[in-house]
Amino acid sequence: MANGPIGFIGLGIMGKPMTRNLLKAGHKLVVYDIVPQAVDEIMSEGAEGARTSKEVAEQCELVITMVPNGPHVKTAVFGENGVAEGIKPGSLVIDMSSIDPGVSREVGAGLKEKGVRFLDAPVSGGEPKAIDGTLAIMVGGDQKDFDEAKPIFDAMGGAVLCGAIGAGQVTKLANQIIVAANIAALAEALTLAMKSGVDPELVFEAIKGGLAGSTVMNAKSPMMMDSNYQPGFRISLHIKDLANALSAGQNTSTPLPLTAFCQEIFNAVKADGKQELDHSAMVLFYEKLANIEVKRKAN
């Protein structure tokens, strides 16, 4: 399997740079996406193209899926002309989408019936880290399968095996809860600073090295202060992830009040038609309530 081509299904905002890093690392790729132009673009950079997920699986003993949500994964794997129709027993499917852990377990069980191995391996870091090849990759599955996939993960970021199938998705949901709550707290704090007549940039500079400092703060504070909501990770996708977290919470009788509140803030921004902006646009909710714009003070 090490020398064979890798199949990659899903060439969106994350999938495209991930395939580029695999190509850079010297891997041969066979790619497919429902958008033909995306396939053409990656083919022009050295990948082989396919017309269906089945065609990818027929040529590859390791297939990666990177699609928006659980239903898309099930379609890509078990739908008409899906991976399951073309893949050989003993092959390995790695789903790097962010989906409900229950769906990962369902997909893993369905593939096991066909003698196919499965890892769920969602990622965190958004488009910038997908481009840099520094994604955090959270994996669920068997140690042996993880070890086999590790060189492939290494081309895209750093991977940690978190437990059995579904554990990667649970870890990603935990990540998304923490990120959403961080962005909400940051937006609330910078709005207070602005409303109090204190330069939010100076607040950021003063506290970023202390206990409140975080990767989220470093990445999202400048975006909020510049009203730059070019998406690295869209609100619509964060809404999807928090919906999956709330579903997992219901399934395990886990109360998630902060998650629910962050979801409602995102929904309020979505109601204003801003769901395709970066999730740092959560600050728009606070700006609207406070009737003020968070921005750097003019020198």
Query: Which residue in the list 54, 129, 172, 240 is annotated as catalytic?
Result: 172
Q: Please provide residue 115's backbone torsions phi and psi, each rounded to the nearest 5 degrees.
A: 75, 20
Distance CA 225, CA 295 (A): 4
Domain segments of the chain: what residues? 6-165, 170-290
Which tokens go with 65? 């899926």
Q: What is the pLDDT of residue 125?
A: 87
Q: How many residues does the chain have?
A: 299
For domain 170-290, which CATH number applies: 1.20.210.10, 1.10.1040.10, 3.40.50.2000, 1.20.120.530? Answer: 1.10.1040.10
Q: Please provide residue 158's backbone torsions phi and psi, each rounded to the nearest 5 degrees.
A: -110, 130
**The CATH number of the domain covering residues in 6-165:** 3.40.50.720
Q: What is the pLDDT of residue 29?
A: 98
Q: What is the pLDDT of residue 56?
A: 98
Q: What is the pLDDT of residue 126?
A: 85
Q: What is the pLDDT of residue 98?
A: 93
Per run of 10 residues, the mean pLDDT along the chain (length 299 residues) is: 84 96 97 97 97 98 96 97 97 96 97 98 92 97 98 98 98 97 98 97 98 96 97 92 95 97 98 97 98 87
Measure the CA dihedral 96/99/101/106, to 10°.
Answer: -80
Distance CA 138, CA 232 (A): 19
Q: Which of 68, 78, 60 is nearest to 33 (CA)?
A: 68
Which tokens go with 139? 């994996």
Q: What is the pLDDT of residue 182?
A: 98
172 catalytically annotated: yes
Q: What is the pLDDT of residue 233?
A: 87
Which tokens go with 7? 């199949």
Q: What is the pLDDT of residue 299?
A: 53
